[in-house]
Structure 1
Amino acid sequence: MSALSAALSGVGSLRSLLPGAHVATGSAAATAPTATRTLTPPAQLSDGELLDGCLAGSRLMQKYLYERFAGRMMAVCLRYAQTTFEAEDVLQEGFITVFKNLASFRRECPLEFWIRRIMVNAALRQHRRNAPLVAVSDGGEYPQDLAGEEFTLSNYNFEELLGLVQDLAPRYQMVFNLFAIEGYGHKEIGEMLGISEGTSKSQYSRARAILKNKIERLDAQRPHGFR
């Protein structure tokens, strides 16, 4: 059983998401009638049907919803974390919030978008908790303004790009993700992180400069056939 599953086991109805979880015990379980019914395969259920099932208290639908989005949300969490362990913590906190607040989802946007916002907010909370403890070191000086500067990422797979982003100092990593990936404006980012709009712009420029520098170094080390 994973650390994430173990943590989820203590959250009310999320207990059923665990492998081997038991709902009934003792004689009640032994005498419970076995109903024969045809279940719709999870892949054929719409997000709305999963949501309706969760709101009706179906533990199976809760399991299906978690399984549908956990992989995609883990990819989001990894971009904001320094380690896989931190990403799992963010994912756990995020899904706890998701299941506690499903009734407040108004269906005005895709369910995945709503869950993604919750994961980003969980990452922000993690960042605020850790920020005072993190010593920032860039390893060099970089230009503050990279307007018009471009660099090619198509030669790198997801794991390589993720590693580059995770190597950024937390303040740069957070701003880069929020602006370049999530699409927030610098004014919004400033409000979210408690910094000025100008600071957000500056940190994003430095993050891009650091990434550009690292990518140029990697390109120089690669055989010509792999560039």
Structure 2
Amino acid sequence: MPSFPQKTASKKSFLSFIHNAGNHFCLYFIIRSKQLFLITLAIIQQAQKRDIKAQRHIFEHYGNTLYRLAFRYLRERMEAEDAVAESFCAIFENISKAKFENVMLFEGWLKRITVNESLKSLKKRANFQLISDTDYETIVIRNEVIECLTAAQILELVSQLPVGYRTVFNLYEIEGFTHAEIAKLLNINEGTSKSQLSKAKGLLQKRIIELDEDYAKSKIVR
């Protein structure tokens, strides 16, 4: 079982830790995430003072959450692991400069850093294409169809969207970014962000409908 780097929370030690952990990295987070303890503002403040124990608590408590967040964008285990490693480097390099009134604001800060690192990795891909010109019809879906789906099924459908659609959908619908913020993150205009979200929803609705063959025959187009 790998352990948190003891000497320093520097980028070098974190990246070394992650790469040495190898295939056990994800398992490590899953196992340690079961040992949950309350993260308080006092622990965060200690971490801001470079307290290694406090930083380790934060690392162990949020590691699995941030990994799942990164994976939602990247859909590749190793890329997600690298994004989380880079995220923790950025977190502990900048934590002393930030101010947090409560734990919720701190958690939002962690997630934004992880989203940024995930997007950096995503945009480095040679085949990354955000904008698609394909239009999908808007379909009215019966409540019964949606209610039959589990949260896991819905997330799986989202994961199957083209990368551009999925990225904007995740940023807007799940992370809560505004179209103005998304435009800045992805170097696009707000209109493009809105258009990609609309197309993502259209395709998502289409795929939900396809799960119910009987309903697919009687779908209503508006």
**Secondary structure of the equivalent of 1:118?**
helix
**Secondary structure of the equivalent of 2:211?**
helix
1:115 to 106, 110, 123: 110
Note if 1:133 corresponds to 2:127. Answer: yes
Gaps of 5+ in 1: 19-40, 223-227
Mapping 1:76-225, distance limit 5 Å: 76-108=69-101, 110-130=105-125, 132-134=126-128, 141-143=135-137, 146=138, 153-220=146-213
Whole-angstrom distance in 1 between the partners of 2:181 and 2:205? 25
Whole-angstrom distance in 2 between the partners of 1:154 and 1:75? 24
The amino acid across from 1:205 in the alignment is: S
2:53 to 60, 65, 86: 60
* Range 213-222 or range 176-185, more displaced: 213-222
> Does structure 2 retain, via aligned residues, the 8 Å contact 1:142–1:206?
yes
Give the percent of matched residue pairs that are identical in Structure 1 and Structure 2. 28
Change (3 A) 1:80 1:195: same
User: When the two structures are superposed, what TM-score results if normalisation uses the length of structure 2?
Assistant: 0.70
* Range 203-212 or range 80-89, more displaced: 80-89
Q: Deviation at 1:106?
A: 0.9
Where does residue 21 of structure 2 map in the other structure? none
Whole-angstrom distance in 1 between the partners of 2:197 and 2:81? 25
**Secondary structure of the equivalent of 1:133?**
coil
Indicate the RMSD between aligned Cα atoms, in angstroms. 3.7
Change (3 A) 1:193 1:135: closer
Where does residue 70 of structure 1 map in the other structure? 63
Q: Deviation at 1:63?
A: 1.4
> Does structure 1 retain, via aligned residues, the 8 Å contact 2:71–2:77?
yes
Whole-angstrom distance in 2 between the partners of 1:120 and 1:102? 17
Where does residue 24 of structure 2 map in the other structure? none
> Does structure 1 retain, via aligned residues, the 8 Å contact 2:158–2:204?
yes
User: When the two structures are superposed, what TM-score results if normalisation uses the length of structure 1?
Assistant: 0.69
> Does structure 2 retain, via aligned residues, the 8 Å contact 1:17–1:62?
no
Larger Rg: 1
Whole-angstrom distance in 1 between the partners of 2:73 and 2:191? 21
